[in-house]
Chain A
Amino acid sequence: MSQQTVTRGEQAPPGSPPEPRPRRGDGVPHANNFSRGFLVKLVLVGVIDAIGVFGLLTAISQQSWGIAGFLALALVVTNYVYFSKRALPAKYLLPGLVFLLVYVIYTACYTGYVAFTNYGDGHNSTKDDAIEQILAQNEQRVEGSEAYPLTVVQQDGELGFAIVRDGEAVVGTAEQPLEPVEGATVDGGKVTAVPGWDVLGFADVAQQQAEVVALRVPVSDEAADGSIRTQDASTGYVYESILEYDPVADTMTNTQTGVVYTPNDHGSFVAEDGTALTPGWKVTVGFENFTKAFDDPRLRGPFVEIFVWTFVFAFFSVLLSFALGLFLAVVFNDPRVRARRLLRALLILPYAVPAFLSAIVWKGLLNSSFGWINQVLLGGADIGWLTDPTLAKLSVLGVNLWLGFPYMFIVCTGALQSIPTDVLESARMDGAGAWRTHRSIILPLLMVSVAPLLVASFAFNFNNFQLIYMLTGGGPNFVGTPIIIGHTDILISMVYSVAFESGLKQYGFASALSILIFLIVGVISWLGFRRARRLEEL
């Protein structure tokens, strides 16, 4: 845009008073330069702003202050960057940075935070929520008490309940226990009018639902008699609280047995005998989630076996798919093969189908009684491809080979074609045979570009959750282990079954385990990349 401004300045007719020659960033208002590009930018940033403001308003209405703050900041930065002339590099970097912040840094930090909490089933929310819920769950209808048709009434902004007790109309509020009123109209057991009080209809009640449901009208001056409450604003019951919360001492007391529950450092109210009230709340628990992975004797035994299998699985997945991909790439790189393009395209097909879908299809194909492989290919054989421990491992590797070789094929084909022909030619002139050329020239040159990808592929397969989950679900399960994991489970799918499928969901524990796995993968990848870099120096 500034270029066009310059042009206009230069083309000014000589007779007119000379316009000051605009310079880059000298503060000529952009709005004066309605070039087409600027208009497009204006519209696009306007759209972004509109979406951002919509998100901002939604966040504010939901009281998600963190998100609201981030959106506001992001909007300000976006507008500054794209309308300022100074922030040229930022114009290119900003989208990437925003994505990095949201999808990588935020999720990583949040996982890190959750790993140090006991977030999970039973510790789902804040302490205030937990107290409220414990009290709600322990407020019970007085046994054998009557159900009263109830009317919600209001006087000077104060809510009250009107019911018919022993044939007479009584009215009470939170402060004032139920008392008889004179001159109330009763229709069919229900109070319909009280002098001095406004009777609230359903629509009026709907305006102040929270207040109506929270209202407790004492039955008498004795607190032990309980109080009237309603949940639907039309029927009232006498309730009594079994637990009472003392905000000063921060304890729960059972009014019937006198047992006192005190909060512990794991986010639960616990009595002296160890019984805990549910729900608890979310607290930070330090490194407990990390040490639990090593302390629990139930995890220790199968852990080693799964640890080893994870390495075997990742290693052989990479090795097999690379070997097959390389072989095919070499074969189809030979100009003597006819219809190379078509064959290459066909070979890439498995790569075009989503992996989880392929896994499900393979699961069906490998079913021992109904699967196509046993039924059609092997003429009705009864081979437990997915139910025999060893065969299941082979099946997993086989299916992953099917999923993985097209990638290696593409990569190797590309790398082969980039090897300069003069190198090969000089090898031939030096009298090297085909095998020798492959081993000493092609492979080393290939590895320079492919080795980092092999490391990345290893890291990917190390955490290849979708394949295991969709194909075998980790099964066949170990016989008699105290946690349900199976012969084909890898570390990440073991985390899933321990933290989620074993009944109680434990987000904190799962986060801690996934951080541990990240460390393992990180170290391996770092070592791998270091070696790969050494290859480059050849």
Chain B
Amino acid sequence: MRRSIPALAAALGLALTMSACSSDSPSDNETTEPTAAATTEAPALTGTLTMWVDETRIDVMKPIVEEFTTETGVKVDLVQKASGDIRTDFVAQVPTGQGPDVIIGAHDWTGEFVNNGVVAPVQLGDKAAGFATSAIQAFTFDGNLYGTPYAIENIALVRNNALVPETKATTFDELIAEGKAAGTKYPVLIQQGDAGDAYHLYPLQTSFGAPIFTQEADGSYTNQLGLGGTNGENFAKYLQKLGQDKVLDPAIGGDQAKEAFENGESPYIVTGPWYTTEFTSKGMDITVLPVPSAGGSEAQPFVGVQGAFISAKSANPVLANEFVVNFLSTEKVQTELYQAGGRLPALTASAELVDDPVLAGFNAAGATGAPMPSIPEMGAMWQFWGTTEVQIISGQAADPVAAWNTMVANMQDAIDNPSS
């Protein structure tokens, strides 16, 4: 009978492979199926809404989804996906009809999704006016809105009040001097890592008047690169100086920066609400401030927006719209999402209720910030950008101006010839 064992294994493996290929069977993922509410009001309601969410957002979404089920009687199959795969899987699976109805994600996925035709436009109608302009802008691509925003986040300067109780500095150089005077190991922490981190350096870059793309009067991006020219070159030289002074260090990635700040090795860190919640829960006394200008102009961070998209091939478009357009946009839900997730609500009415000083600090720091561009070529932009910055900081690129200009040329090339 031994010969049946490989056969069994074969069939098992085969069946598993096939079912894994053919369907996103619920057993593959941790699935939450809220018990259906008593459906006395809507006895004939059928159809289950499938929703994808990654591990960073599922805890926040779970109670909201349960509330939706209780209110409308629509069952929701909340599927947890790995944050590294959710975006690629969505693009790959929607065309085959295996994708979810709704996906929760970040606004900078919009360009890729639209380019692949996997999301449907949403119509918020008059509700759109109730949202922060930058949040609506973030989910708009080629004139259409593709998602309902629910949370806004950006980076800012975070101060450890135990080390420095007051910040008098108005420029970044003064801030470094202040940090050095505090006598800690680092004057200020900005995470980098081996591949660079253009996102965390962006406030400094904009303070030199060199945004990634030039902006229209209404704040939306053109497809003209804005980081070239004299302003960009000045920023490149400044980066070299910060690298030589060891203010910036490629060896300090996100984890190292967070740990150093928690250990009191620096009075300042440039970071976002994802770390401050950890700082406050550890009992640190922190204040959130705008990043001081390094180049004279205002330092504006990127704004990231969280929201919900609807699949272009959803089998339940009405239910999906009911959740995304009508339910997620209410003040009650946005407030609950803020309370659970600790991010600034995208709905202005809910944002006005926020009384947390840390979040208010982030809000003030990001008030003039523009959303991260979501064009499909952004992936290449981030790579060129971070790589060049880290090469300037580490001294690998001895001539910062030349390196910066090569980067701008390469970026332009990647935009002009996207297919290679």
Give the B-binding residues of A (Cβ under 8 A): 37, 40-41, 44-45, 47-48, 51-52, 54-55, 58-59, 62-64, 67, 70-71, 74, 78, 82, 91-92, 94-96, 98-99, 102, 121-122, 124-126, 129-130, 132-134, 136-137, 139-141, 147, 201-207, 209-210, 212-213, 231-235, 237, 278-279, 292, 296, 298-299, 367-370, 384, 386-387, 472-473, 475-477, 479-482, 484, 498, 501-506, 509
Contacts and interface: CB of A to CB of B under 8 A. Distances in A.
A254 to B, nearest CB: 14
24 contacts: A40-B1, A45-B7, A59-B18, A67-B22, A91-B7, A92-B3, A95-B9, A98-B11, A121-B115, A124-B118, A133-B117, A203-B46, A209-B317, A209-B318, A213-B317, A279-B115, A298-B413, A368-B251, A386-B194, A472-B194, A473-B195, A479-B391, A503-B383, A504-B379
A480 B144 contact: no
Nearest to A476: B396
Instruction: Please tell me the size bucket of the interface on B.
Output: 35 or more
Interface stretch (B121-129, B201-209, B221-229, B281-289): B121-129
A498 B410 CA distance: 14
Interface string B79-112: 0000000001001100101100000000000001
Contacts of A54: 15, 19
A37 B4 CA distance: 10
A121 B414 CA distance: 15
Give me the 3 closest cross-chain CB pairs, A-B, nearest first.
A133-B117, A125-B95, A503-B380
B36 interface: no
Contacts of B325: 231-232
Contact of A37 (B1, B9, B92, B376): B1
Contacts, number: 258
A233 B143 CA distance: 23
A501 B381 CA distance: 10
A206 B46 contact: yes
A231 B325 CA distance: 9
Contact of B394 (A209, A370, A387): A387
Nearest to A202: B42
Contact of B383 (A122, A124, A202, A501): A501
B17 interface: yes
A204 B387 CA distance: 55
A298 B418 CA distance: 13
Nearest to B120: A136
Contacts of B391: 476-477, 479
Contacts of A235: 123, 125
A51 B419 CA distance: 43
Contact of B7 (A37, A44, A125, A296): A44
Nearest to A122: B115
A380 to B, nearest CB: 13
Contact of B122 (A64, A94, A204, A231): A231
A318 B35 CA distance: 57
Given A124-B91, A506-B419, A58 B194 contact: no
B4 A45 contact: yes
B21 A67 contact: yes
A52 B317 contact: no
Given A47-B11, A62-B22, A67-B21, 18 more contacts: A52-B15, A58-B19, A58-B25, A102-B14, A129-B117, A130-B117, A147-B125, A202-B72, A202-B322, A203-B73, A232-B318, A232-B322, A279-B117, A370-B256, A387-B394, A476-B194, A479-B406, A484-B383
Contacts of B13: 99, 102
B contacts with A: majority SS: helix
A271 to B, nearest CB: 15
Nearest to A386: B194
B412 to A, nearest CB: 10
Contact of A387 (B114, B118, B250, B319): B250
B47 interface: yes
Contact of B117 (A209, A278, A473, A505): A278
Interface of B: 1, 3-15, 17-19, 21-23, 25, 42-47, 72-74, 88, 91-92, 95, 97-98, 112, 114-118, 120-123, 125-126, 142-144, 194-195, 249-252, 256, 312-313, 315-319, 321-322, 325-326, 376-381, 383-384, 387-388, 391, 394, 396-397, 402-403, 406-407, 410, 413-414, 418-420
A257 B314 CA distance: 31
Contact of A48 (B3, B8, B112, B321): B8
Contacts of B251: 367-370, 387
A287 to B, nearest CB: 15
A136 B246 CA distance: 52
Nearest to B145: A141
Nearest to B194: A475
B420 A292 contact: yes
Given A41-B1, A48-B11, A51-B15, A504 B121 contact: no
B8 A44 contact: yes
Contact of A296 (B23, B88, B410, B420): B420
Contacts of B18: 55, 58-59, 67, 70-71
A292 B12 CA distance: 41
A67 B21 CA distance: 9
Contacts of A59: 18-19, 22
A392 B195 CA distance: 14
A315 B249 CA distance: 34
Contact of B318 (A133, A212, A299, A504): A212
A502 B380 contact: yes
Contact of A503 (B10, B74, B381, B387): B381
Contacts of B5: 44
A477 B193 CA distance: 13
B406 A387 contact: no
A126 B95 contact: yes
B414 to A, nearest CB: 7
A137 to B, nearest CB: 6
B379 A503 contact: yes
Contacts of A498: 420
A232 B326 contact: yes
Contacts of A509: 420
B150 to A, nearest CB: 17
B1 A231 contact: no
Contacts of A67: 18, 21-22
A121 B43 contact: no
A136 B117 CA distance: 9
Contact of A140 (B8, B143, B318): B143
B387 A477 contact: yes
A209 B47 contact: yes
Contacts of B381: 503
Contacts of A37: 1
Contacts of A482: 410, 413-414
A137 B22 contact: no
A51 B18 CA distance: 11
B60 to A, nearest CB: 23
A135 B52 CA distance: 26
B22 A207 contact: no
Contact of A99 (B10, B74, B112, B418): B10
A98 B316 CA distance: 37
B7 A48 contact: yes
B144 to A, nearest CB: 6
A207 B46 contact: yes
A136 B121 contact: yes
Contact of B123 (A58, A125, A231): A231
Contacts of B73: 203
Contact of B326 (A40, A210, A234): A234
A481 B410 CA distance: 8
Given A45-B4, A482-B413, A206 B316 contact: yes
B385 to A, nearest CB: 10
Nearest to A281: B117
Contacts of B387: 477, 484
Contacts of B378: 503
A233 B322 CA distance: 9
Given A48-B8, A213-B317, A279-B116, A475 B47 contact: no
